[in-house]
Amino acid sequence: MQFYDITADELRKMQTRKKEKEYLLVDVRQPQAYRQAHLPGAVPIPLQELPDRTDELPLDRDIVFYCRSGLSSRAAAVSIANKPEFQGKIMNLTGGILGWQGVLLPEVPRLHLFPPTDTQAESLLQAMSLERGAALVYGAMQKQFSGEDWAKPLHDLAAEEVAHARLLYRAMQQDQANVPDFDALYAQLPDDLIEGGFSRENIDTELARSGGNPCQTVFELAMAIEYAAYDLYRSLAQRFRQAAVAEVFLTIAQAEKAHLQRAAEALQACEATTTP
């Protein structure tokens, strides 16, 4: 089996076209480099650890390796492509992270909110809490700007975050006995943190700085929240890859990708109306 080089543009198109359960993005740089910035949705497996961690790679999904420049990740791609048990397409991102002209994410909030010692039940509950925080933020922003036509997408975003919380709740019911009623549990969850580790205070501060263009600020914030959420759920799916809940996390990651597109379209509309 051979590996294939893929450019940054080709990777973006692939991510748009493929479902989240169809591929895995692997960062083979050192952990500190990954923590500083990584491609959304990527999981860290340093190159020197790859021979001992191949069991973390899916045998039936496409895998894209990347590093700083595309050289180390090519070695990773060659190594895995030579293993006949891998049935998916094995790819190397040419140019690495240096050639990626897009959003990069830090890992710090995810490390803080979802430490490796968390159980599946704890992760589901924490994720539900983040979904509640995001729903409340979108709802508050919609209320604040209710007289503006551009604020209409915020209603749908808020409703879909609640739907995600319900999906996580159903996974929780399958994982443990005597789970409280959804409404009772949801109402008592903390709401001060949002997907990706943002706080309500962060959001309020950014809105206060929006000046004369709150539309642009709102949807830039929405994109930041949704990018972080997408990254988070891809990571959780990989962490619990041997459990049924991985499918739930990938389903939500797929939805977060759709949210990103909606926020991007709304942002473009904002910018079009303010361009002289």
- Kindly state whether residues 132 and 225 are assigned to the same domain: yes
Task: Specify whether 166 is located in the same domain as 239.
Answer: yes
Claim to verify: residue 122 and residue 240 sit in the same structural domain:
yes
| One domain, residues 139 and 237 | yes
Q: Are 65 and 56 in contact (CB under 8 A)?
A: no
How does pLDDT run across 239-265, given as a tens digit for each residue? 999 999 999 999 999 999 999 999 999
pLDDT reported for residue 194: 80
- DSSP state letters, 106-123: -SHHHHHHS-TT--HHHH
- Count CB-CB contacts under 10 A for residue 94: 18
Domain boundary residue, one of 99, 126, 145: 99
Mean pLDDT, the chain, whole residue set: 90
100 or 274, which is more confident: 100
Per-residue pLDDT for 199 more than 80?
Answer: no
Domain co-membership, 161 together with 84:
no
Q: Domain holding 127: CATH number? A: 1.20.1260.10
Are 84 and 143 found together in one domain?
Answer: no
Residue 89 shares a structural domain with residue 129: no
123 and 226 part of one domain = yes
pLDDT given for residue 47 in this prediction: 96
Q: What is the DSSP annotation of 36-48?
A: H-B-TT-EE--GG
Catalytic site includes residue 270: no
Which of 64, 99, 134 is the last residue before a domain boundary?
99
Domain count, the chain: 2
Per residue in 141-158, pLDDT tens?
999 999 999 999 999 999
Catalytic residue among 67, 135, 253, 266: 67
The reported pTM is 0.87
Domain boundaries, position 77: 3-99
**Between helices 152-175 and 214-239, what is the axis angle to 10°?**
20
Sign of the dihedral through C-alpha 264, 12, 21, 133:
negative
Report the C-alpha gap between 80 and 91 in whole angstroms. 10
Q: pLDDT by residue (tens digit) across 53-95? A: 999 999 999 999 999 999 999 999 999 999 999 999 999 999 9
Return the sign of the alpha-carbon dihedral for residues 222, 223, 228, 233. Answer: positive
Helices (H), 115-244: 120-144, 152-175, 182-188, 200-208, 214-239
Residue 203 confidence (pLDDT): 81
Q: What three-state secondary structure class fits 147?
A: coil
pLDDT tens-place string over residues 162-193: 999 999 999 999 988 899 999 999 999 988 87
Final residue of a structural domain among 39, 67, 99: 99
Same domain membership, residue 245 and residue 185: yes
Q: Domain of 31: which CATH number? A: 3.40.250.10
Please check whether residues 169 and 43 belong to one and the same domain: no
Q: Provide mean pLDDT across the span 111-119.
A: 77
Q: What is the mean pLDDT of residues 214-224?
A: 89
Residues 84 and 124 in one domain: no
For residues 190-223, one letter each, b for 16 or more C-beta atoms within 10 angstroms of the residue's C-beta and e for the rest, the string is ebebbbbbbeeebbeeebeeeeeebbbbbbbbbb
Instruction: Indicate if 193 and 147 belong to the same structural domain.
Output: yes
Split at pLDDT 50, 70, 90, the class of 275 is very low
